[in-house]
Structure 1
C-alpha cells in the first residue's frame, strides 16, 4: 500500500510540476517559475533587469565616468541561466518533495565575458584618463610672467581594471562608483612653490621697465626685453631665476641705446712717412658697460615696484684705444706691407659709393688668424648705409643698381692683399674684363652672393688704410711683412672669344662697347732675400663683353 501511495504522489508531482523550472523560481526578480527553458529564456531576454544593461559607474583617480557593459563584453547568458534554473533532478524524492515545499528560489544569472571587448574598453579608459605628470614652472613671454601649474600623473592598471569591472557587473541601481586601480606620479614641484615664485619674483620682475643711469644719460629696458633674458630653474625643489648678462648686453634693444649712453674709444689714425708707420692723429679713451656691470645693476631692481625704485646707476669703465703711438711697436705695425691705387672715370655715383666704402674700411684692424670680410665690413649697399644707384654688371650687362662702382674698392683691396702676401679666402672676378683693372688681378662683390675675404696669416695685426678721391682709390696694408717682396707675373691671354651685338630695353639698360673674352693666369711670386720661396697661380676666365645698345623707352611703354 505504501508503494502504491508513493507512486501516486510521484505521478501527481510530475503532473503538478511537469515543466522544466519549478514554481517560485526567480532570476534577479524576474519570475520564470513553471516555465520551460525556452519560455524562461524568452522572458529573461524580453524583461531583462535594468541592471544587466545599466552603465557601470567607475572612478579613475579623480575622474568619474561610466562603462557600457555590453561594449565592454559584459552580458548575461540567458540560455545558460535558464539551464541553471531548470530542476536538476526528476527522481521521486525531488518530485514528491515539490508537492509539499513549493517555496521560492532565487537564481543568480550566468554571466558571459568577451575578454577582447573588455580589454578594448579598459584601453579606452586608459587613453581617456591616463595623464603624464607635468612639472610646475614659470616662464616669461612677451613681457609677462606665465605659470604652468603642476599636474599629478596617473596610469590605469589595465589588467586589474578588467578584473574589477567583471566583479562589478551587473551593477545594482544607484550603486556607488567602482574605483579602478591606478598608479600615481606626483610632480617634484608643488603648486605652492610655483605660486610663491610667481608672486614674489616673476611678476615683480616684469612689472615695468628698469632704468639705468650713467651721468646725465638714462637707459630704459622694457619688461619684454628683460623677460627675453630671464630663465627659471628648479633648484632642489625651489624655483630660482637666472639673468643672462651677456645676452642682455648683446640685445639690440639694449646695445643701441647703451652705445649712446657710453662712447667707444677712438683708434689712432695711422699713415706712412719715409716708409715707416706713424700716428697721424692720436686715439681717445672711451667708456663701456660690461656684462657683469649691467647684470649687477639690473638684478636688484627686478623685485622692486615703481619707476623710482626701479632706477639705479650702472658702472662704466674706461677703455683704451688699441692703436696709439705706444702700441705700434708692440703690435708689430711698423711698416707698409703693400699699397695699391685704382683710377676710375669721375662720376657722382662713384664718388659717393667708393668714398663711402673707403670710409667704412679705413682703420680696419685685422688680428692674427682673423678672416677679414668686405661684405661684413662695408655692409649691404643700401641708401640707409650711404650708397646710391650706380652702374654694375648684372647678368652679363651693365645695369643700374644700388652700390654700383664699389668693385673699384674691391679690386683695390684685393691687390693690396695680393702684394701684402696674406692668404686669400674668397674672391671672384668680374664676368667680363674691365680695362682699367689689371687682368686676372681684380675682384667684384655682391651682397649675399660673393664676398672678398682674406686671412691674416702674418702673425701680427694688419691695419688697413683706405682713402678715395673723385677719380681714384688707394688701399694700404700696414703691419709686418712676412715676405721681402711679392710680385705678379701675368701670363698670356688664351681662348679668345668674340662678343656679339644685342639690344637692351628698360630704364636700367646701360650701353656698353664690345670686348673680347679670354682666359688668363697670374702667378703670385713670394721672395725673401731676392730668392723665390713660393709661387701661386690664379686662373681667370672672362666672357666676351657684348655690344649693347639700349632701345629708347617710348611714352606708351613708359605709361605701361
Structure 2
C-alpha cells in the first residue's frame, strides 16, 4: 500500500496541496497576452523609429508646405525658399480691404525653430502621446510656424484701416425735386473689431498666409437700392403724363412737375411706398380750378331811418376738394389721367331767410349821456364822434361777445381831457369813456349779459356813479388794458347804434328781436363826503312778466377827483347825473 503525505490528500481524483492557493489557469492567459502586446508594440515602435529615423514624420506640414519624409536640412531648405518675409500682407474687408508691406510689420520667419517643431512631432512626450501624434500625422498635421512681427505696428495699422473702413449704415432713399427723381443708393454699415482682427492676422501669419479677413460687425440697410429704384419707378410712372381736369365744358391740366412735387416716398415695415401728398396736390389743383370757385354773399342788415332792412345774401359755388383728392389718390397710380371736378353749392353762413327771421326789429335798450357838462374846445366832442361811429352799425350774432376795445382802440383821436387814476390830465382819446358808459347802460337796459366792466376812480359829471364804465389800452400811469364787454343772449341778431347829437347828448341804442325783457336800474350812495364815496347799483330784470333778477348789481368806491392843477375835488362837489338823463 502506497504511503500518503500528510500534506497531500487525494480528493475526487485530484491531488490537493494543503496550505497553498490553487493556480488559476485563466489569469495566466491574460498575463501572456499583455506580454505579447508589449512585445509587439516594442517591435512596432522600433520598426517605426527605424523607418523614420532622421526624417520628419509623414503628413507633417508647415503653412501648406509638406515636410513629411524630409530631413531637417531638407525641410529648412524647402521653407527657406519661401519669400514670406517680403512683399505685403493683405487683409480683406467689406470694402476694398487693405495691404501693408511686410517690412512695416518687421515680419520675420524663423525656419530653424519651425523645423525643430515639425521634427518633434511624434518624438516628444510619452509613448501614448507620441503614438497619437504619429497616427494624427498620417491624416495631416499642421505645425504653426515661428513668426515674429511688430504687434504694435499691426495694431496702429489696423486702427488706421478702421477709420477708413468704418462706415455708418445708409438706407437707400428717393429724392424728388421738380420733375427730377433721384435715388441715393444704400450702404451697409461696418465697424472693424481691431482686437479680433489682430488675432486673425496672428493666426494667418503663423500659417504662413499673407492674406486673411478683417473681423468686424456688418449692419445691413433696412432699405436697399433695389427697393429705392422700384419706388422711383413708381413716381416716374405716376407722373408720366399731365392730369386733365374737366367741368362744364371747361378743361384744365396739372403738369408733370405738379404731380411729381405732390408725391412722397415713405418707409415702413413693408419697405418703401409712394403716397400722394394731399396738401401739395390740393395746391396744384387749386390753381387749375380757381375759376370754378365763387364766394357766397352773406345776408346783412341796413338801417333805414328808424327801421332795419335785410340786405339779401347769394349762394356761391365751391369745389369739393376732398372728394376730388380722393379720386386722384385712387386713380393716379392706376394710370387714370382725366377727372371730373365735383362742384357743390356754397351757402352763405347767414342766408336771406335766416336774416329775415333774426332781423332786429325793435329797440331793446337805449341810453344817453350829457357831454355839454364837460368843458371842451371841440376836440373832445370830435373824439366822441370818432368812437361812436366805430361802434355804430355793428351786428352781433346770437352768442357773440362785443368788445369795446376791438372797435375803438388805436383810432386817430385828438388830445383832450381824460381821467387817469382819478387825476385829470390830457391824453389821446379823451371822451371814449363817455361813449363806453353810454353803451354799457344801453346793454344793461336791453337785459344783456355784461361780462367785463371797470368803474372810474372818481365820480364824473356826465354819468351817474355806479353806472359808469371805462376803457383804456395803455398810457400814462397804467399798462393794463381795460375793456367793456357784453354778450348777445337773445335768439336774434343785435344791431348797435351810437351817435353824437346836436342837443348835447351821446345816444346809444341796441336793436334786436323782442324777447319780453324789461329792465329797471338805478344807483344810490352808501356814503359820500370829502374823502370819497361808495355807491350801490340795483337792477331788476323781468322776462315775460316774471322777475328773473332783483337785487344789488355791484358796489363801487370813488376817490376825490384831482383836477389839472392838482387840487382835489371832493365827491360832494361833483354834480350827480340823473339815472335817466
Q: What TM-score do you get using the length of structure 1 for normalisation?
A: 0.52
Q: Which aligned pairs between 1:431-446 and structure 2 lie closer than 5 A?
A: 434-440=460-466, 441-446=468-473
Q: Which aligned pairs between 1:522-533 and structure 2 lie closer than 5 A?
A: 522-528=536-542, 529=546, 532-533=549-550
Aligned-partner Cα distance in 2 for 1:247–1:443 = 49
Equivalent residues, number: 428
Aligned-partner Cα distance in 1 for 2:383–2:342 = 45
Q: Which aligned pairs between 1:355-504 and structure 2 lie closer than 5 A?
A: 355-359=388-392, 362-368=393-399, 370-376=400-406, 378=407, 381=410, 387-391=411-415, 397-400=425-428, 405-429=431-455, 434-440=460-466, 441-446=468-473, 450=481, 452=483, 454=485, 456=487, 458=489, 460-469=491-500, 472-479=506-513, 481=515, 484-492=518-526
The two structures, once aligned, show a CA RMSD in angstroms of: 6.6
Q: Is the 8 A contact 2:436 2:484 kept in 1?
A: no
Q: Which aligned pairs between 1:171-186 and structure 2 lie closer than 5 A?
A: 180-186=216-222
Are 1:163 and 2:196 an aligned pair?
yes
Q: Is the 8 A contact 2:175 2:181 kept in 1?
A: yes
Change (3 A) 1:449 1:469: same
Change (3 A) 1:28 1:193: same
Aligned-partner Cα distance in 1 for 2:536–2:100 = 89
Q: Is the 8 A contact 1:458 1:481 kept in 2?
A: no
Partner deviation per Cα, 1:204-262 (whole Å, 9 max, x = no partner): 79xxxx99999xxxxxx9xx9x99x968575985434344599979x9x99xx99x974
SS in 2 for 1:264: coil
SS in 1 for 2:438: helix
Give ranges in structure 2 of 5+ residues lacking alignment.
1-75, 124-143, 249-253, 332-339, 567-581
Q: Is the 8 A contact 1:290 1:316 kept in 2?
A: yes
Q: What TM-score do you get using the length of structure 2 for normalisation?
A: 0.51
Change (3 A) 1:86 1:294: closer
Aligned-partner Cα distance in 1 for 2:559–2:182 = 64
Change (3 A) 1:314 1:168: same
SS in 2 for 1:187: coil
Change (3 A) 1:422 1:239: farther
Partner deviation per Cα, 1:269-315 (whole Å, 9 max, x = no partner): 36897xxxxx5323122343446369859x99xx9xxxxxxxx9996
Aligned match of 1:268: 301
Give ranges in structure 1 of 5+ residues lacking alignment.
1-21, 32-48, 70-74, 95-104, 215-220, 274-278, 304-311, 382-386, 498-517, 550-560
Whichever of the two has the greater Rg, that structure is 2
Q: Which aligned pairs between 1:100-115 and structure 2 lie closer than 5 A?
A: 107-109=146-148, 112=151
Change (3 A) 1:415 1:480: same
Partner deviation per Cα, 1:66-85 (whole Å, 9 max, x = no partner): 6999xxxxx97999989977
Change (3 A) 1:466 1:131: farther
